[in-house]
Amino acid sequence: MDTPAAIALVRTASLSSLVEAEVMRLILAGDLDSGEQIKEVKIAERLGVGRSSVREALRALEAAGLVRIEKNRGAFVRVVSEAEAREMYVVREALEGLAGALLAPRISDEEITELRARVDEMETYLDPADFHRYFPLNLTFHRRIFEMTGNGRLIEIYQRLTNELHTIRRNGLLRGGGLSVSNTEHRAIVEALAARDPAAASAALKAHVAAGARRRTGHREERVVA
């Protein structure tokens, strides 16, 4: 039989997981911006949980690369430096290219249909005013490509990286007609996957990431380098 202490431990762990998910959602949605302080009391009151659950969640988010905790100051949404961003985009380009090469030979007709439907859905939200709808769909589109590879370690590495890139990816999509251009690139990715061409799928995904990096900095001809 579970002891009261064991039950309390499970309940606390469950609450901290819920808090972690909600704070992550707020960060990824842009409701909590880079460098902004995450106030424990406000989060605890909003979610109806104790501050210990909030602290536990923030420690988990720090480990995930989304939050920075400073002694005697509190928790802040992590700010990604320009040097870090360049390095992350180099890694992301390589990961996306690998995912495309792995997925192309094995992708099913059903998965192609799913990806096309996701691109079609994003097409309805190309107005910058609809960014809050487009961005989660964009994240899901890329995540699904990785999930379809069936490579658990690759998925894990990608997810951590994409968490760290959250703010700068938003900025890139909002510049220079980014939403429309981004989704045109998504269609090219799906068509390369549908052709079951590993080299073309890898190239399309890498080109998409490189273009996103250029949009983010505002330099269309600049290539992200290590």
What's the pLDDT tens digit per position in 182-200?
Answer: 999 999 999 999 999 999 9
pTM: 0.78
Q: How far apart are CA 165 and CA 28, in angstroms?
A: 9
- For the chain, the structural domain boundaries read 4-77, 82-217
Most confident of 9-13, 27-31, 105-109: 105-109
- Tell me, what's the pLDDT at 1? 39
Average pLDDT over residues 110-126: 98
Residue 225, pLDDT > 50, answer no
- Check if 4-77 and 82-217 are the same fold: no
Q: What CATH code is assigned to 4-77?
A: 1.10.10.10
Query: What is the structure's pLDDT at 218?
Result: 65
- The pLDDT confidence band at residue 172, using thresholds 50, 70 and 90, is low
Mean pLDDT of the chain: 86
Q: What does the pLDDT read at residue 6?
A: 36
Q: What is the pLDDT of residues 37-76, one digit of tens each?
A: 999 999 999 989 999 999 999 999 998 888 999 999 999 9
Please state which CATH class domain 82-217 belongs to.
mainly alpha
Do the beta carbons of residue 80 and residue 88 sit within 8 Å?
yes
Contact criterion met (CB below 8 Å) for 42 and 54: no
DSSP conformation letters of 140-198 = HHHHHHHHHHT-HHHHHHHHHHHHHTHHHHHHHHTSTTHHHHHHHHHHHHHHHHHTT-H
